[in-house]
Amino acid sequence: MKFCSFCGAAVRVLVPAGDNRERHVCSDCETVHYNNPRIITGCLPVYQNQVLMCRRAIEPRLGFWTLPAGFLELGETVAQGAERETVEEAGAQVNLGELYCMFNLPHIGQVYMMYIAELPEPVFATNTDESLEVRLFTEEEIPWRELAFRTMWRTLHHYFEDRKTGKFSLHVEDIAPL
């Protein structure tokens, strides 16, 4: 960041009074510009014994499979964002359940928050602006080697393990770089 988004003056990097780390601070209006992690929200839509997944039509990881998820927008709750992303990426309406997985990825400044969700009927888009293909998978059909992100691999892994016991609880993990 070179210029203040409020007044346009140059910013400098310093530790503001009362803070403990360097921030971008406007040299004119003294606004502190925080660079904080981004929240990615989404869900694991389940219809009977199948999971709804999307083949990405956008970078990063174009052509790889994922669960419907994306960046949280201002003015929406994490749950609202998960529902919106499911409509945008899969053309599906879901009944959102509990928060199911939370992954911290400090090395890229992201926090993933994934809900478990019921797909009440097998109605979804076969493709969207963000997905080349959308379809239901049984556990045996999951394209494990073609998953776009480790967060999705971990979410699916937890789901299929929890399904064996019938006990679904919140999973919280830190994911380090490979």
Longest Cα–Cα distance in the chain: 60
At 158 the pLDDT is 98
Confidence of residue 33 (pLDDT cuts 50, 70, 90): very high
Average pLDDT over residues 72-77: 97
Extents of the domains making up the chain: 1-35, 38-174
Our measurement of the distance from residue 38's CA atom to the centroid of its chain's CA atoms, rounded to an integer in Å, reads 9
Q: How high is the pLDDT of residue 44?
A: 98
The DSSP line for 154-178 is HHHHHHHHHHHHT----EEEE----
What's residue 16's pLDDT?
94
With cut-offs at 50, 70 and 90, classify the pLDDT of residue 159.
very high
CATH 3.30.70.20 fits 1-35, yes or no: no
Give the model's pLDDT for residue 89.
97
Q: What is the mean pLDDT of residues 163-176?
A: 97
Cα 52 to Cα 136: distance, rounded to the nearest angstrom: 4
pLDDT band at 115 (very low <50, low <70, confident <90, very high): very high
Question: For a pLDDT cut of 90, what percent of the chain falls above it?
Answer: 98
pLDDT at 163: 98
- Number of CB atoms found within 10 A of residue 16's CB: 13
Specify the pTM: 0.91
The CATH number of domain 38-174, selected from 3.40.50.800, 3.90.79.10, 3.40.50.11900, 3.90.10.10: 3.90.79.10
* Per-residue pLDDT tens over the stretch 39-64: 999 999 999 999 999 999 999 999 99
Please classify residue 59 by burial: count the beta carbons closer than 10 Å to its beta carbon, then call 0-12 exposed, 13-18 middle and 19+ buried: exposed
